[in-house]
Amino acid sequence: MRGLFLGLTKVMLGIVVALLLMSLAGVVTVRYFMARLAVQPPKPIFENDTPIRSNPESVTTAALPADSTPAIATASPTPDPSASPEGYEAIIVQPIGMVLREGPGTTFQRAGGIDYNETVIVLEESADQEWMRVRLPDTGQEGWIKSGNTRRLD
């Protein structure tokens, strides 16, 4: 009888140890994958991205090849002087909002942002019709946004 209890005890102890080891292995595996998934991948950099500089005048041309010019020094579209000074009201239709820039081009500094469905006053458009100078009615802040992302209000 004693051998039966000893054998039964060994089997039960073996099962408990096996379940404990499997549980610990599961916890370690879950923690490993959670740690791996918590790290964000690096931000992709595309060839048409321009670096954001805090001071465009600080760009030096010494490091650039002789046949290239810095991206900030490139010519930008010139505003259309015949535009109406009053402008018209429009609403932002870009679902992610818009970046407000200091001039008509991506080389100009960011001056702020405009939310989706926010009303703006369009003051003028660039000569190439790709940029619009707008004013925010709430704050009076002016800047340039990319054309095609607004809908005119009547």
CA distance 71 to 51: 9
Question: Tokens 């660039």 belong to which residue?
Answer: 126
Rounded to an integer, the average pLDDT of 115-129 is 91
Q: Where are the domains of the chain?
A: 1-49, 79-152
Question: Is residue 13 scored above 80 in pLDDT?
Answer: yes
Residue 124: which residues within 8 A CB-CB, separation 6 or more?
Answer: 79, 80, 83, 84, 87, 132, 133
Q: Which fold has domain 79-152?
A: SH3 type barrels. (2.30.30)
Share of the chain above pLDDT 90, in %: 44
| The model's pTM | 0.46
